[in-house]
């Protein structure tokens, strides 16, 4: 028993002495090794940079209707404030002083529209003929170039698509002209047999104001479609530009409503002064497909997407070592050493930095670069007692366990 105790004590003294020697000798690996206890994996995130502003919901358009005494005597309004109107809805009526002249004018405008409609019909017929000729040509021959390739099908497909689009546009134009003709026919019908005329709305929307004193504009109509307006400070102008995607939200909305920044004024809303910051009006057009009912006049929070990177490789800002000209990170490489790498940074947001170059998602990076003693050298970490379980040793072969012990002794 005493002999066994003496052997174990001697082995312990040799182990401690050997490690002290290895640690304290010149150019020792222990001296050059870094104590790294915290690592972080390169993540994969969507980074979105936004600029916030306040806004208010207003009608997209405001249409004003004027009355001219020369047209005739005013008879009365046919709408009141708050009424919904469509294109063609009668707004007010008046008696004409020149009834025959007005009727002739209406007939002339209707005749011009009918001529325009007939011209569009002829254009549609010509396009339809060209379409049939193109289709028959494409099925008869196929020119082949010297290298065996052919581009005829591509050019014919492009021509057919172009003709189809032109026919579609002409049909839409004809529909608009026919609607105008119908409007004039209604005006002429209501005019005949009477000396009174009606002024119809030229837009759809809601009657905002009726001026019963007949001061122009006598009727103001606002569109049902909303938009958002607000102001950017002059400091914000360098971050925003027209066409950027926008989200609008408020306590009165369920979720966010998407839109587009469509206008930024190039002159401030008030006269500039050296004593105060300037603010520049902006407008946001909301997406038509939104099902949210936005209350006009309500105040909203505006978030402008100024920059966005999807599926970006990211690391915490504190894991980056900043040099005089470049930035670096320390990566655990395949040989088990701490490798210093120069990186190329992208978008920085919320303590995260996008890595354009330097590491890929999943690679382990030293969380505190100031703990690295020397690059491209081994490291050691705090022993994890929880991993020293019987099961761990049972799962490993004796040869592997012996190998790890020897590495611990001599490295």
Reported as a single tens digit per residue, the pLDDT across 63-84 is 999 988 777 788 899 999 999 9
Q: How far is CA 253 from CA 249, 292, 298, 300, in A?
A: 6, 7, 10, 9
Compute the average pLDDT of residues 189-211.
80
Strand, coil or helix: 161:
helix
pLDDT band per the 50, 70, 90 thresholds, residue 387: low
CB-based contacts of 101, cutoff 8 Å, min separation 6: none
Per-residue pLDDT tens for 286-306? 987 665 678 888 999 999 999
What distance in Å separates the CA atoms of residue 234 and residue 212, rounded to the nearest whole number?
43
Q: What is the pTM of this model?
A: 0.57
Compute the average pLDDT of residues 153-169.
82
DSSP letter assigned to residue 273: B
Number of helical (H) and strand (E) elements in the chain, helices listed first:
6, 21
Whether the predicted pLDDT of 396 surpasses 60: yes
Note the pLDDT of residue 201.
87
Give the lowest-confidence range in 99-113, 200-214, 309-323. Answer: 99-113
Compute the average pLDDT of residues 32-44.
80
What distance in Å separates the CA atoms of residue 6 and residue 380, rounded to the nearest whole number?
32
Note the pLDDT of residue 154.
65
Percent of the chain predicted with pLDDT > 70? 78
**Of the ranges 7-16, 189-198, 288-297, 330-339, the best mean pLDDT one:** 330-339
Whether the predicted pLDDT of 40 surpasses 80: yes
């Amino acid at each position: 028993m005493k002999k066994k105790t003496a052997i174990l004590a001697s082995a312990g003294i040799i182990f401690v002495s050997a490690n002290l020697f290895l640690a304290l000798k010149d150019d020792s690996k222990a001296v050059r090794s870094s104590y790294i206890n915290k690592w972080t994996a390169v993540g994969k995130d969507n980074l979105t940079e936004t600029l916030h502003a306040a806004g208010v919901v207003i009608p997209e358009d405001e249409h004003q209707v004027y009355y001219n005494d020369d047209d005739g005597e005013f008879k009365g309004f046919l709408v009141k404030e708050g009424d919904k109107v469509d294109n063609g809805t009668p707004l007010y009526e008046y008696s004409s002083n020149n009834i025959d002249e007005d009727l002739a004018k209406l007939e002339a405008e209707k005749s011009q529209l009918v001529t325009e409609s007939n011209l569009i019909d002829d254009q549609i017929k010509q396009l339809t003929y060209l379409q049939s000729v193109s289709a028959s040509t494409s099925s008869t021959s196929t020119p082949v170039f010297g290298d065996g390739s052919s581009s005829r099908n591509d050019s014919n497909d492009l021509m057919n698509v172009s003709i189809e689009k032109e026919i579609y546009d002409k049909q839409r134009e004809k529909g608009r002209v026919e609607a105008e003709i119908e409007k004039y026919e209604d005006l002429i019908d209501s005019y005949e047999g009477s000396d009174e005329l009606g002024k119809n709305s030229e837009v759809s929307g809601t009657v905002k104001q009726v001026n019963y004193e007949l001061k122009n504009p006598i009727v103001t109509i606002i569109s049902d479609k909303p938009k958002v307006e607000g102001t950017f400070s002059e400091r914000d102008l360098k971050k925003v530009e027209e066409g950027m995607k926008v989200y609008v939200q408020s306590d009165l909305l369920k979720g966010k409503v998407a839109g587009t920044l469509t206008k930024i004024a190039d002159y401030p809303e008030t006269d500039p002064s050296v004593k105060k910051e300037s603010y520049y009006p902006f407008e946001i057009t909301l997406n038509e497909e939104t099902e949210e009912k936005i209350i006009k006049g309500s105040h909203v929070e505006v978030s402008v997407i100024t920059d966005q990177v999807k599926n970006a490789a990211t690391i915490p800002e504190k894991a980056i070592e900043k040099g005089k000209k470049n930035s670096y990170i320390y990566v655990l490489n395949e040989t088990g050493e701490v490798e210093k790498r120069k990186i190329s940074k992208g978008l920085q947001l919320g303590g995260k930095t996008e890595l354009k170059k330097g590491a890929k998602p999943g690679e382990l990076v030293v969380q505190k670069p100031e703990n690295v003693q020397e690059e491209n050298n081994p490291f050691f970490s705090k022993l994890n007692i929880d991993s020293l379980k019987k099961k761990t040793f049972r799962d490993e072969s004796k040869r592997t366990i012996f190998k790890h012990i020897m590495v611990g002794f001599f490295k």
